[in-house]
Amino acid sequence: MRIETLSVFPEMFDSVMHASILGRAEERGIFSFAAFDLRDWTHDRHRTVDDEPYGGGAGMLMKPEPLMEALDDLESTGPRPHVIFFTPCGEPFTQRTAERLAGEERLLLVCGRYEGIDERVYARADERISLGDYVLTGGELAAMVVADAVVRLLPGALGDEMSAQDESFSAAGLLEYEQYTRPASFRGQDVPPILLSGDHAKIAAWRRANALERTCRWRPDLIEHADLTDEERERARELIARNAAGAAEGAAATDCGVV
């Protein structure tokens, strides 16, 4: 896979995109990365990329010409990129989106700044992505989040193929189960004994039940689309009702009854 970004702060990508798992994946040729500077497509002495909004209002907007020219150039070489624009007005980014994007050959991530981008440029977007219901200063952080989430799904990027499949939102669409490492007892808190038992079937069953419990407690909105058995769905209904009743009494439910 090739990932490219188009922004006015290409240097922001230097450390994140070349460090840790992303850095190793790049070294191993699992993906390649390039950060393009939008100012390279300006024609004035000040390398201007913004202008005042028609109709007045605070702040500046990214003007269309440099963005359109950059997209013309970048799209004219290599395989056609899947073009993503970052904006709070986009579709919320999820693990499902990351999984879908991991199947693309080339991603071109367009990062806004200032008060955003002239609306006409969005005609060039294959999709608009939002990181969430808040406003960032620019799209660079959003691009790094998406690149990170996508690259770690590429075959070989994590080293252990199972680790990406066994995480929150993957597989059944539940949050991940609790995890522990040594020591088995720490400051009065013990690791659940079943995890020390060596019984893999029982451990798998405990993890599944624990993931269901945690999802019901922290993200009940995920349950509707989770891949559950009839029995688990019934259990989830009970847990969510119990948590809601606990919350209504002013106390968070502390025991969801999962062994």
Interface residues with ligand SAM (CB under 6 A) are 86-89, 111-113, 115-117, 130-132, 134-139, 142
C-beta of 64 vs 138, nearer to ligand SAM: 138
Core vs surface per residue 40-61: b (16+ CB within 10 A) or e: ebbeeeeeebbeeeeeeeeebb
- Three-class secondary structure of residue 92 per DSSP: strand
Nearest distance in Å: CB 214, ligand SAM: 26
Nearest C-alpha neighbor of 49 from the set 112, 125, 127: 112
C-beta of 93 vs 177, nearer to ligand SAM: 93
Nearest distance in Å: CB 93, ligand SAM: 8
C-beta of 84 vs 157, nearer to ligand SAM: 84
Nearest C-alpha neighbor of 6 from the set 166, 164, 140, 144: 140
C-beta of 84 vs 102, nearer to ligand SAM: 84
CA distance 55 to 204: 60
C-beta of 135 vs 252, nearer to ligand SAM: 135
Which residue lies nearest ligand SAM, judged by its C-beta?
112
C-beta of 137 vs 229, nearer to ligand SAM: 137
C-beta of 116 vs 173, nearer to ligand SAM: 116
Long-range contacts of 188-197 (CB under 8 A, 24+ apart): 194/259
Nearest distance in Å: CB 38, ligand SAM: 12
Nearest distance in Å: CB 68, ligand SAM: 16
Our CA dihedral for 84, 168, 148, 132, rounded to 10 degrees, sits at: 50
Nearest distance in Å: CB 12, ligand SAM: 12
- Three-class secondary structure of residue 188 per DSSP: coil
Chain Cα centroid distance, residue 50: 28
Nearest distance in Å: CB 125, ligand SAM: 11
Task: Tell me 117's DSSP state.
Answer: B
Nearest distance in Å: CB 215, ligand SAM: 24
Helix, strand and coil content of the chain, in percent to the nearest 5, comes to: 45, 15, 40
